[in-house]
Chain A
């Protein structure tokens, strides 16, 4: 089987501007940055689906933020001060605290992707987020469904 190399471009809504690209890390659960190790970027929250995964320098795709404003902002700020913040963030639901967090560390933040980002993007896809132009470009790294697999074989 070989990797497909499909590129998909989707429109999005800019919240915090800028450009960031990297490997995608997808979470179906809300994220609290305070519960990651600020010196490595590894998610420490034991019950979280990303537990043990590293979000440093990834394009992070997740439904929303969670937890108190103080801990959320401080968590992302500490990651950024070790150069371990995500390269960009794509979310479904945005709230004030997440906007403030992204603003403080100057990480591009977008929402309202044309398609559900949790379905359109898979972990390991290569994703470019151009918040200024309002586009997200996804290069698939894994076959998405059985038809793709058949095609690849």
Chain B
């Protein structure tokens, strides 16, 4: 890969050890893909996770004096001070989380601790070159917004944020943004949960690639697209997709395939969505808790929870969690949604994710969620998966 004099100097360590390590990683990725050069990015999102590997790299950069050159937001970890009051979080795990959060602060990241940074804290525009890790963020940014990003790891996105550049490869090149598989959607797609199951089915059926969805007649809303993105990266690795007419980059199926004829054609029916939902259940009946907000609930979804819960009470022994961003919670508090949810016995928790050690108290419990992603990465024993209305009904009735 060609490096400018400035980039060479960074690689030699002349601008400090932190930026040197970041550049070394970007050069390795560039070499792997035969990238010709580095290109500037305007923003990045690091899928921080509060795990040991994450800690190693962000401290390596922070201790080496690196500082983000472009806006770089962060994914959920967890607030140990909040969870220590509720559960017995193991001391060593809590310490890792605390150090991760402190190191991201030292490198000058936007401390969003949100998995939907593209809605509020770090929003790319159409055509921007960015480096966004996180399973819903990568396809959302590529497809719904029309900025370009590769499927980054937390570390490669952070390195790109620190250098302000990324190697030119993959989805930064137009020819690689071509559809690879035609999905004929025969399912009716009535609500957010149907999009959740659609994403899960598409990921499972094609594994890896750029699906082009045909047959969707109603314009999907923000939450439906977020769910589709997140779930397609649980069962598969989907960095980009097209819904011609509704996503930005191709107005027609032909345009999405850049003139080629699709080799693979796959149909998704209502029955298949139903089967996918059945497959996810490991139990039925009584539950100990409900876990919502994977990915983070938006303000609109918090409103929906408040509306459905208004005047009701959780059954004794059932706890109720909604994970969201700090930004959404501020507004939800101001409007009054948080008050309604708390009066019903629920918690609205910020900065965290269902896949963090802070949930250790639920290790042997039965949970219900509206998210296959939560079910897949769960830190609890048994799971029921259903739409939001069913989760709320179960929380109120205890089963």
Contacts and interface: CB of A to CB of B under 8 A. Distances in A.
A68 to B, nearest CB: 6
B52 A99 contact: no
B154 interface: yes
A81 B52 contact: yes
A99 B53 contact: no
A104 B152 contact: no
A81 B57 CA distance: 14
A96 interface: yes
B325 interface: no
A58 interface: no
Contact of A96 (B51, B135, B152): B152
A111 B28 CA distance: 12
A96 B29 contact: yes
B28 A16 contact: yes
B57 A99 contact: no
A28 B235 CA distance: 20
Given A73-B153, A78-B52, A96-B152, A68 B57 contact: no
Interface in B7-55: 24-25, 28-29, 31-33, 47, 49, 51-54
Interface residues of B, number: 28
B294 to A, nearest CB: 13
Interface string B353-376: 001000000000000000000000
B52 A74 contact: yes
Contact of B154 (A14, A66, A69): A69
A16 B25 CA distance: 9
B352 interface: no
Given A97-B153, A100-B153, A100-B156, A69 B133 contact: yes
Contacts of A74: 49, 51-54
A103 B154 CA distance: 13
A111 B32 contact: yes
Contacts of A77: 52-53, 56
Contacts of B57: 104
A50 interface: no
Given A70-B49, A81-B52, A15 B233 contact: no
A7 B86 CA distance: 61
Nearest to A102: B28
B151 A95 contact: yes
A94 interface: yes
Interface in A68-106: 68-70, 72-74, 76-78, 81, 94-97, 99-101, 103-104
Interface in B299-335: none
B296 to A, nearest CB: 16
A14 B29 CA distance: 11
Contacts of B133: 69
A30 to B, nearest CB: 10
B112 interface: no
A105 B25 CA distance: 12
B151 A104 contact: no
A10 B57 CA distance: 33
B155 A104 contact: yes
Contacts of B233: 68
Contact of A94 (B25, B32, B54): B32
A103 B56 contact: no
Q: Which of B28, B52, B355 has the most CB atoms of chain A within a 10 A radius of its CB?
A: B28
9 tightest A-B contacts by CB? A77-B53, A69-B153, A100-B153, A74-B53, A74-B51, A73-B53, A15-B32, A70-B49, A94-B32
26 contacts: A15-B28, A16-B28, A68-B135, A68-B233, A69-B133, A69-B154, A70-B154, A72-B153, A74-B52, A74-B53, A77-B52, A77-B56, A95-B151, A96-B151, A96-B153, A96-B156, A97-B151, A99-B25, A99-B32, A99-B156, A100-B29, A100-B155, A100-B156, A103-B155, A104-B53, A104-B57
Interface of A: 14-16, 66, 68-70, 72-74, 76-78, 81, 94-97, 99-101, 103-104, 111
Given A77-B52, A97-B151, 7 more contacts: A15-B28, A66-B237, A69-B133, A70-B47, A100-B153, A104-B56, A111-B32
